[in-house]
Chain A
Amino acid sequence: MDDDLPTPVILTELEKGVIEEIKEHGGENIDRCIQCGKCAGTCPVALAGFPWFNKRLIHALGLGIREEILDVPSPWACVSCNKCTEICPRDVKPFEVIFALRRVLVEELAIPTLTMEGLRTLYEYGHAVYQTTYPETRKKVGLPEKPPTTLAYPEALKELRALLRETKLDEVGLIPME
Chain B
Amino acid sequence: MRFGLFLGCNIPLRRPDLEYALRYIYPKLGVELVDLEGASCCPTWGTMPSVDLAGWCAVSARNMCIAEEKGVDILTVCGSCYGSLSETRHKMLHNPEIRDEVNRMLGKIGREWKGTSQVRHGVWVLYKDIGLDKIKESIKYRLDGLTIAVQPGCHFLWPSEVYVDKEKNPFRPRVLIELCEAIGAEAPDFSTITDCCGTGGLRSTNLEKSLKLFERKIKSIKEEIDPDLVVTSCSSCLLQYDGSVKILKEKGRINFEIPTLHFVQLLAICLGANPDQVAGLAVTGPEEVIKKIRGEV
Contact = CB atoms under 8 A, between A and B. Distances in A.
Touch between chains A and B, by CB atoms below 8 Å:
yes
Interface of A: 25-26, 44-45, 47-50, 73-74, 76-83, 85-86, 95, 99, 102-103, 106, 111-112, 114-115, 118-119, 122, 126-131, 134, 137-138, 140-143, 147-150, 152-153, 155-157, 159-160, 162-164, 166-169, 172
Query: By DSSP majority rule, is chain A's interface helix, strand, loop, or mixed?
Result: helix
B261 interface: no
B139 interface: no
A118 B44 contact: yes
Given A44-B213, A118-B47, A85 B158 contact: yes
B130 interface: no
A95 B83 CA distance: 13
Contact of B213 (A48, A85, A141, A156): A48
Given A147-B19, A169-B55, 12 more contacts: A48-B209, A50-B205, A50-B206, A82-B158, A103-B53, A142-B277, A153-B37, A153-B38, A156-B37, A166-B105, A167-B59, A168-B52
A109 to B, nearest CB: 12
A130 B201 contact: no
Contacts of A131: 13-14
B206 A106 contact: no
B14 to A, nearest CB: 6
Contacts of B108: 162-163, 166
Interface string B1-22: 0000001011011101101100
B9 to A, nearest CB: 4
Contacts of A78: 45, 201-202
